[in-house]
Amino acid sequence: MFEMTIADVVDELRGVRESWRERQERHDFANREFPSRDAIAQVAAQLRGVLFPLRLGPPDLRQENEDFYVGHTLSQALQTLAAQAGNELRFRNRLFAQNTPDIDAQAGEAIRRFAGTLPGLRRLLDTDVLAAYHGDPAARSVDEVVLSYPGVLALIHHRLAHELYVQGLPLLARILAELAHGETGIDIHPGAQIGSGCFIDHGTGVVIGETAIIGKNVRIYQAVTLGAKRFPKDAQGHLQKSWPRHPMVEDDVVIYAGATILGRVTIGAGAVIGGNVWITHDVPAGSHVHQASVQHERNTRGNPSAAPADVVV
């Protein structure tokens, strides 16, 4: 019934692909050499179970079988991850005309190092779980937090993704991070550095950029942006990458819903950032910033003695 239509569509799609490859000067991809999003999604589910077996593992798991399950599942996950890491390195070789020797051995070593970080990563996640439990009066138990809080899921993915990023696998890391982004609405670049005891409450619309640095015991509410203020270009007109352009948030800071903090600014320890404020300057430690104080500061700029003590923007 659709034979002629399908044949026409197939022909046209081939033409589109060939045109794209011609414009991008990419003619040497005989086989798929890109990491698989589906494979990374499977690994993510396995690693969540490895980290929290009785909560995020299979429903029939019993405590006496935990070690067997963790060992078996971790072995499967790491094998898949090593294969995907090899795909990323081969893809990078072709894309940037590099010649990395012994790609499979290099990929395997990177994943071995990644595996060695998992116990410390679990300990770090325990601090995030406790921060959520103690920081939310609606939380009935730490189990509820692990099983249902989107901020915790996002941090599990982020902490895994960040370790892959550190091991030189930014594409695998980005895919892992975007899986959580799609599920939770929380967008954390895997390059961001986040200290222990982080609590992302509600979380929808939170954006944390690649070079952001967040200290210990920081609480972030929904729709908060830790973003870049500007995007300088190089001599060829391309955006410069990897330079520090996102905020640094020190220990014990609270950032309420809708706040936007842009550029390489520092939010001092213990500061409280109110909802829906826009910040592009440093905030001293212990300060309180809110909409009324920001408006007053704008009206009294140039006359510091007229500004209240909590005006810092």
The tens digit of pLDDT for each residue in 45-95 reads 999 999 999 999 999 999 999 999 999 999 999 999 999 999 999 988 887
Q: Which residues pair with 213 in a beta bridge?
A: 193, 248
Neighbours of 110 (CB within 10 A): 23
Encoded amino acid at 123, one letter: R
CATH code assigned at 76: 1.10.3130.10
> Would you say residue 16 lies in a domain?
no
CB 209 within 8 A of CB 226: yes
Residues 118 and 140 reside in one and the same domain:
yes
Distances (CA, A) of 118 to 13, 81, 124: 43, 14, 10
Sign of the torsion angle spanned by Cα atoms 192, 174, 220, 52: negative
Q: What is the length of the chain?
A: 313
Encoded amino acid at 214, one letter: I
Average pLDDT over residues 5-32: 81
The tens digit of pLDDT for each residue in 250-299 reads 999 999 999 999 999 999 999 999 999 999 999 999 999 988 665 545 55
Residues 228 and 154 reside in one and the same domain:
no
Q: Closest Cα partner for 142 from 152, 155, 129?
A: 129
pLDDT score for 240: 74
Residues 88 and 177 reside in one and the same domain:
yes
Average pLDDT over residues 300-309: 46
Q: State the residue range of the domain holding 104.
A: 29-186
pTM given for the model? 0.88
Task: Give the residue from 186, 204, 239 where a domain finishes.
Answer: 186
pLDDT score for 311: 43
The tens digit of pLDDT for each residue in 200-233 reads 999 999 999 999 999 999 999 999 999 999 777 7
216 three-state secondary structure: coil
pLDDT over 70, % of the chain: 89
